[in-house]
Amino acid sequence: MPPTIGVFDSGFGGLTVLRELLEVLPGADYLYFGDTARLPYGSKSAHTVAKYAISSAHFLQERGAEILVIACNTATALALDEIKSAVTLPVIGVVEPGAQRAAEISKTRKAAVIATEATVASHAYEKALGARGIQSTEKACPLLVPLVEEGWIDHPVTEQVAHIYIDEVFRNGAKGADVLLLGCTHYPLLRAMLRRVVPAQVQIVDSAESTAKAVAERLQVPAAGGVGKVRCFATDSVEKFRRLGGRFLGRPIEDIELIDIET
Amino acid sequence: MPPTIGVFDSGFGGLTVLRELLEVLPGADYLYFGDTARLPYGSKSAHTVAKYAISSAHFLQERGAEILVIACNTATALALDEIKSAVTLPVIGVVEPGAQRAAEISKTRKAAVIATEATVASHAYEKALGARGIQSTEKACPLLVPLVEEGWIDHPVTEQVAHIYIDEVFRNGAKGADVLLLGCTHYPLLRAMLRRVVPAQVQIVDSAESTAKAVAERLQVPAAGGVGKVRCFATDSVEKFRRLGGRFLGRPIEDIELIDIET
């Protein structure tokens, strides 16, 4: 039997994690929960985010998830321990795998992290990197998520905004950093553009990719074999989920169900 | 006794309506409810917005509001009738007063409307303007809210984004329009910048201003007399409400209480 992997995010961003999971574990079955009625989590408080994330984790466990991937940097940063306590299945967040990968490749032992406001305010990446001997500078980039959602992936305005944020982080504190950690699951869509903006000596680490690899290691199932099912659940407009989500997943999304989590 | 006016919004934007209310009715008492835990409404479905708005309307009625101002274009556009049915006090939304003002000043009988995705999808302004003999072209501008919330009020990137949106609306359909209606309560903060971007013959109508005047006419109380109290309630971080809200209200916010609306 292929494993059933539950993937949770506040919206569409976690689909970049699912996309990477489908690369490394194509034979698994996936249940993806996007809490689109209550997004974005990035500007909300820890208490609110924890409450939302736990109800969604319960939902996925009830639907048969055997392992839970918190494919949301904000929920991981603010509420991972609370989620782990509230469910009985293994839980993997996106922060530790991203920090681990950054620590493996950094030579200068300095990293820059870009993320949402709430993730930065939690200093989850600073702590995870610090525990691995990496000094970090974090920068909130609240405009990048709406720019991605507007579809301005390769747009001059997005590049200009990225320039402003990236210049600021490398000017303030991140001098000498040789790794930029993408601490938001929307940012992988900007990776090609960010490559042009980020200093040449800086390597880009994507938490989505690192997390998928961590899940594959944890499950220790063969990467090959069959094509698994992907079922999606959204708390708001299924039509919008289909339209926007396909961009994040990199392929059309077929099976989406509207869920009212409060009832 | 001064009247107690309840003002409801998904977040901070409605404070631009409160700001205008304080201009025309400085002696009234105000209860402002910002549903910041569940913002933004602009990307959510009608069903979800109606559910949230009604619970907030009940809260304000219980706290003593004698009239309710829905200072949120999305909630007005999607849920005004449902809110009116769910409460027993008079309810005023932002769409009708804005449309009324546009109809009063337009000579070409053509208007352009900029708003959030959900407001545009509802075509509430198109209907309200159409009922007054004004032909309109609506344009969703989803990046303007995050730009305002980032504090980039008079920033070259914001001006460039506004140029893209405004050029598009006046190129597609809004040729000959002599009014631009600001159909989102965040946009008054961009009014000076928009004045530079919008064609010279086009007048800008601000729904926040028009709504405050409509409330004053409805209450028929003298504008002068005393300084009323302003109490704010937020469903998420009070600290953020204070910091961001002051920018919208145009003065510091003192009295803010955290509310858990689901309990």
The per-residue pLDDT for range A78-136, each reduced to its tens digit, is 889 988 988 899 999 999 999 999 999 999 999 999 998 889 999 999 999 999 999 99
Q: Residue B134 falls within a domain, yes or no?
A: yes
DSSP A187: G
Find out whether A88 and A113 touch, Cβ atoms under 8 Å. no
Q: Residue B150 falls within a domain, yes or no?
A: yes
Q: Taking Cα atoms as reference points, which of B241, B188, B230, B193 lies closest to residue B37?
A: B241
As a whole number, mean pLDDT of residues B87-91 equals: 91
Q: Model confidence over B162-213: pLDDT tens digits?
A: 999 999 999 877 789 999 999 999 999 999 999 999 999 999 999 999 999 9
Find out whether B198 and B141 touch, Cβ atoms under 8 Å. no
CA distances from B131 to B6, B70, B98, B128 (A): 28, 21, 13, 5
Q: Residue B77 falls within a domain, yes or no?
A: yes
DSSP H helical segments within B37-123, as ranges?
A: 46-62, 73-86, 95-105, 117-122
Residues B89 and B219 in one domain: yes
A chain contacts of residue B262, beta-carbon cutoff 8 Å: 262
Residues B106 and B87 in one domain: no
> Between chains, do A160 and B157 touch, taking CB under 8 Å as contact?
yes
Q: Residue B20 falls within a domain, yes or no?
A: yes
Domain region containing A31: 4-93+210-258
Residues A83 and A173 in one domain: no
Residues A117 and A79 in one domain: no
Which pLDDT value is given to residue B138?
A: 96
> Catalytic pick from A18, A25, A70, A184?
A184
Is pLDDT of B46 > 90?
no
Is pLDDT of B261 > 70?
yes
Residues B40 and B135 in one domain: no
> Between chains, do A157 and B164 touch, taking CB under 8 Å as contact?
yes
A chain contacts of residue B161, beta-carbon cutoff 8 Å: 157
* Confidence band for A47, pLDDT divided at 50, 70 and 90: confident
DSSP H helical segments within A25-175, as ranges?
A: 46-62, 73-86, 95-105, 117-122, 124-130, 144-149, 156-171
| Residue B72 designated active-site | yes
Q: Model confidence over B90-105: pLDDT tens digits?
A: 999 999 999 999 999 9
| Residue A232 designated active-site | no
A chain contacts of residue B48, beta-carbon cutoff 8 Å: 37, 235-236
Q: In what order do the strands lie in the sheet containing B67-70?
A: B91-93, B67-70, B4-9, B29-34, B230-234, B256-258
Residues A196 and A127 in one domain: yes
Residues B8 and B71 in one domain: yes
Q: Write down which residue in A165, A182, A207 finishes a domain.
A: A207
Question: How, if at all, do strands B110-115 and B179-182 pair?
Answer: parallel
Which pLDDT value is given to residue B263?
A: 37
Q: What span, in angstroms and rounded, lies between the C-alpha atoms of B212 and A139?
A: 39
Residues 6+ apart with CB under 8 A from A211: A17, A20, A69, A71, A92, A93, A94, A97, A98
H or E stretch at A232: strand A230-234
Q: Write down which residue in A207, A225, A248 finishes a domain.
A: A207
Q: Residue B117 falls within a domain, yes or no?
A: yes
Q: What span, in angstroms and rounded, lies between the C-alpha atoms of B195 and B182?
A: 12
**Which one of B37, B43, B149 has the shortest CB-CB distance to A48?**
B37
Residues A106 and A187 in one domain: yes
> Using alpha carbons only, how large is chain A's radius of gyration in Å?
17
Q: Which of A43, A51, A148, A243 to mutate against chain B (most B CBs within 10 Å)? A: A43
Q: Model confidence over A176-204: pLDDT tens digits?
A: 999 999 999 999 999 999 999 999 999 99
Which pLDDT value is given to residue A175?
A: 82
As a whole number, mean pLDDT of residues B53-66 equals: 92
Is pLDDT of B146 > 60?
yes
SS3 category, B202: coil
Residue B55 amino acid letter = S
> Catalytic pick from B31, B72, B145, B216?
B72
B133 Rama class: left (phi>0) / alpha (psi -120 to 50) / beta: left
- Flag whether the ipTM exceeds 0.90: no
Find out whether A80 and A36 touch, Cβ atoms under 8 Å. no
Q: Which of B12, B39, B44 to mutate against chain A (most A CBs within 10 Å)? A: B44
Q: Which two tokens stand for residue A239?
A: 């039509």
Residues B200 and B109 in one domain: yes
Can you give the CATH number for the domain in which A57 is found?
3.40.50.1860
- Which sign, positive or negative, has the C-alpha torsion A123, A128, A133, A138? negative
Q: Which two tokens stand for residue A89?
A: 């299945």
> Between chains, do A143 and B143 touch, taking CB under 8 Å as contact?
yes
Residues A134 and A105 in one domain: yes
> Between chains, do B48 and A236 touch, taking CB under 8 Å as contact?
yes
Q: In what order do the strands lie in the sheet containing B203-206?
A: B135-140, B110-115, B179-182, B203-206
- By the 10 Å C-beta count (0-12 exposed, 13-18 middle, 19+ buried), B15 is classed as buried
Residues B20 and B105 in one domain: no
Is pLDDT of B158 > 80?
yes
Q: Which two tokens stand for residue A164?
A: 């402003």
Is pLDDT of A223 > 90?
no
How many domains, chain A? 2
Reported pTM: 0.88
Q: Write down which residue in B165, B180, B207 finishes a domain.
A: B207
Q: What span, in angstroms and rounded, lies between the C-alpha atoms of A6 and A210?
A: 17
Q: Which two tokens stand for residue B235?
A: 């469903």
Residues A99 and A87 in one domain: no
Neighbouring CB atoms inside 10 A of A42's CB total 27
- pLDDT > 90: percent of chain B: 71
Q: Residue A263 falls within a domain, yes or no?
A: no
Q: What span, in angstroms and rounded, lies between the C-alpha atoms of A240 and B240?
A: 29
Q: Taking Cα atoms as reference points, which of A16, A154, A156, A114 lies closest to residue A72?
A: A16
Q: Residue A222 falls within a domain, yes or no?
A: yes
Neighbouring CB atoms inside 10 A of A55's CB total 16
Q: Residue B263 falls within a domain, yes or no?
A: no
